[in-house]
Amino acid sequence: MDQHLPRFTSAEAYNAAYPDCPVPADAYERNALRAYHAAMTGVRDDLVGTGSSLTVEFLPGGAPGPGEPDRTGTVVASNWGRGPILVLAEQVSLRAAWKVVTGRWPARLSEVSAALGTLSLPENR
């Protein structure tokens, strides 16, 4: 299991560390985000042992839809916005992250992580 993913016990702890890419506190707003959840079954955690089916969230604001401008942000996995929150990618194009994830339709967290690993990192990293 990969214990190197940044991990936060709650949305509040994550939001304190990533104030520019927050998980919405409001459940309705959070559920309205364009997220990936493997055909509504959730992504099986085979990396860190949370014992949960996880949702992959694109923050801030969800993955951009067609016709929406792209944003740079953070990709996380969580149990529907609750802790633990696992940071999978930082400072990435949310559109590119959405495309690489949905292009593979992963069912396991390791597959999501591998897909995101193919994204180019910003030059300053």
pLDDT of residue 3: 53
DSSP of 21-84, one letter per residue? SPPPSSHHHHHTS--B-TTTT-EE--SS---SEEEEEEETTSSPPTTSPP-EEEEEEEETTEEE
What's the pTM value of the predicted model, to 2 decimals? 0.90
In a domain, 30, yes or no: yes
Residue 31 belongs to some domain of the structure:
yes
Q: Is residue 122 part of a domain?
A: no
Domain membership flag for residue 59: yes
Residue 124 within a domain: no
pLDDT tens for each residue of 25-46: 888 998 899 999 987 788 999 9
Q: Does residue 1 lie within any of the structural domains?
A: no
> In this model, does residue 99 exceed pLDDT 70?
yes
Reply yes or no on whether the pLDDT at 2 is more than 60: no
Banded model confidence at residue 80, pLDDT cuts 50, 70, 90? confident
Question: What is the domain range of residue 34?
Answer: 7-116
Q: Is the pLDDT of residue 48 over 60?
A: yes
* Structural domains counted in the chain: 1
Is 48 inside a domain boundary? yes
Assigned domain for 35 exists: yes
pLDDT in the model for residue 121? 53
Give the pLDDT of residue 9. 93
